[in-house]
Amino acid sequence: MSEIKEGSIIKLKKSHPCGSQEWKVLHAGSMLHIKCLGCGHLTEVQARKIERNIIGVRQE
């Protein structure tokens, strides 16, 4: 979880309904504020719940 920080691009196992699997981290903490790179949908999720669904992290 330490490699996830603001500006990181995370790839999740399941895709968003728009088809994209990549999300940009806008704010990192106990809650992650993320933005879908496919459609721009904004959401917030608990970091501990999403970390098991992450298959890749890259820095932008």
- The arrangement of strands across the sheet holding 22-27 comes to 42-46, 31-36, 22-27, 8-12, 54-59
Determine, yes or no, domain membership for 43.
yes
pLDDT of residue 25: 96
Which stretches of the chain are DSSP H helices?
47-50
How many domains does the structure of the chain reveal? Answer: 1
- Residue 60: is its pLDDT beyond 90? no
| Residue 37 structural domain | 8-59
Determine, yes or no, domain membership for 47.
yes
pLDDT of residue 7: 94
pLDDT of residue 17: 95
Determine, yes or no, domain membership for 3.
no
pLDDT of residue 3: 81
Mean pLDDT of the chain: 92
Q: Name the pTM for this structure.
A: 0.89
